Amino acid sequence: MKQKILISTGGSGGHVLPATILYEHLEKQFQVSISTDIRGLKFLDKDKYNFEIFNVDPISKNIFLLIFQFFLIIYLIVKSIFFLKKKKIDILISTGGYMSLPLCMASKILKIKIFLFEPNMVLGRSNKFFIKSCEKIFCYADTIKNFPNKYVGKITVIPALLRKNFYEAKKADSINKNINLLIIGGSQGAKVFDTLIKSSIIELSKKYYLKIYQQTNLVNFEELKRFYKDNDINYELFDFNDDISNLMSKSNICITRAGASTLAELVFLNLPCVTIPLPTSKDNHQFENAFFYNEIGCNWILNQNEISDEALANKLFNIIDNKDEFLAKKINMKNFSYQNTWNNINQKIISVINENRISKN
């Protein structure tokens, strides 16, 4: 009988999308299911995955709620124990975040094998808490910040997890007289992107044939639509969706946040990008993600707290008009990601799990 694996996730697309990719890598070898909170549901195809809703509210910083939250966590751990026993789970894979805390704690109590996943270049707090208890932790590099030295041997480096449609997508175009600019704010959107770059886009449109592909949300959709129409700029607006690979393929330069999944996708499709890390990301992990790829020559980094409309416009002009650096970045991206194939990742993940699992008594 196939062993049962539960993948714990929730919250943002940065947690949920890797969970779905892990699901697809494992579903032929194991009985796989996903647990997610209510927030994570919007990133999950309900007809494609076997999932359970396991809601965990964010931990409040209000000291007056600490006692209440302590008992709430105890309740959720007990609930997780019954949940895991009822489902007869053999292995838990956690994609990190507070959503996974009760299930990881319950797995530890029940002596269920725990595997962790950390796509960022900074070890997440939940993953750090359970690093001692896990069998292995899947990472994109072995130089993860805040990683305890005595547990470095638990790191298994894998190529970045990508959805299957990325392996079928064509690589991004080079810069020519037509500039196709992709703007990505991440699964939560980025309101600052809807305002900060407007002047830069107007300046670009005066010099180049410009097409904008911009991710936004319903709140800002109409405002952006008016902006592009009023300035006679060719555009396409979209929300967080699965067809991002197609939009990346159509583009030849990108402005983006620095989420681990988005950067991995851009690098794989050889789309050079200007990264503007979210300044408030926990442990500054978005900057560290951007810096990792910057060190191997794949992107440019701008500081949101220091950037201006003029500075952004000048940066884009410089990139477009001086193609040598742009082309060098495309080559670096190609060289970095050539070993990223579905089969390579699949074999690595399954072999690591099989090597470290022990049948439950």
Instruction: Identify the structural domains of the chain with CATH numbers, from first to last.
Output: 4-159+341-356 (3.40.50.2000), 166-337 (3.40.50.2000)
Helix residue ranges per DSSP H, the chain: 13-26, 66-87, 101-110, 125-130, 164-168, 191-196, 198-207, 218-230, 244-250, 260-268, 285-295, 309-321, 323-337, 342-356
Say what the pLDDT of residue 162 is: 97
pLDDT given for residue 361 in this prediction = 39
pLDDT, mean of each 10-residue run, the chain (361 residues): 93 90 97 93 90 76 66 88 96 92 95 97 95 97 96 97 95 87 72 76 92 86 91 90 87 94 96 92 92 97 86 91 93 95 97 77 39
pLDDT of residue 71: 81
Task: Check: pTM over 0.85? Answer yes or no.
Answer: yes
Q: Which amino acid is at 217?
A: N
What's residue 72's pLDDT?
81
Express each pLDDT in 6-45 by its tens digit: 999 988 888 999 999 999 999 999 999 999 998 888 888 8
Task: Map tokens 């670096």 to a residue.
Answer: 332
Phi-psi region of 284 (alpha: psi -120 to 50; beta: other; left: phi over 0): left
**204-211, Cβ contacts within 8 angstroms, sequence gap of 24 or more:** 204/179, 204/313, 204/316, 204/317, 205/231, 205/232, 205/233, 207/317, 208/177, 208/178, 208/179, 208/320, 209/177, 209/178, 209/179, 210/179, 210/181, 210/234, 211/178, 211/179, 211/180, 211/181, 211/235, 211/236
Q: Supply 291's token pair.
A: 């810096």
Beta sheet of 253-256, edge-to-edge order: 234-238, 209-215, 178-184, 253-256, 273-275, 299-301
Q: Note the pLDDT tens digit of each residue in 176-187.
A: 878 999 999 764
pLDDT of 48 reads 92
